[in-house]
């Protein structure tokens, strides 16, 4: 049983300091790019695992301890994070 990436938004925001749900994650396994909100999230063990909604490959893992957050993105070929409109060049 899984939830979508929106269900893990809080724990990832706490670790990253930003809303990850709109970031586009490209799966290293199948090459599918989709918003993090579409990932299949499993939160049944000591950490949170996000899997590609296309091929179910693991794209992200997050484990929290009382003092640290450990983030593993090796299953993501890339993570594109939209920058807000407030930034100008």
Query: What is the reported pTM?
Result: 0.87
Residue (of 51, 50, 58) closest to 74 by Cα position:
58
pLDDT under 70 in the chain at which residues?
85-89
**List of residues 6+ apart from 18 with CB closer than 8 A:** 81
Q: Given this model, what pLDDT does residue 87 score?
A: 46
Domain ranges across the chain: 3-80
In tens, the pLDDT along 43-66 reads 988 899 999 999 999 999 999 999
Measured between alpha carbons, how far is 1 from 17 in angstroms, rounded to an integer? 27
pLDDT for res 44: 86
């Amino acid at each position: 049983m899984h939830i979508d990436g929106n269900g893990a938004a809080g724990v990832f925001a706490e670790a990253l300091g930003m809303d990850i749900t709109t970031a586009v994650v490209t799966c290293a396994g199948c090459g599918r790019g989709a918003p993090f909100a579409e990932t299949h999230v499993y939160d049944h063990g000591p950490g949170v695992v996000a899997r590609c909604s296309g091929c179910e490959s693991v794209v992200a893992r997050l484990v929290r301890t009382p003092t640290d957050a450990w983030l593993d993105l090796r299953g993501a070929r890339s993570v594109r994070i939209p920058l807000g409109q407030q930034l100008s060049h």
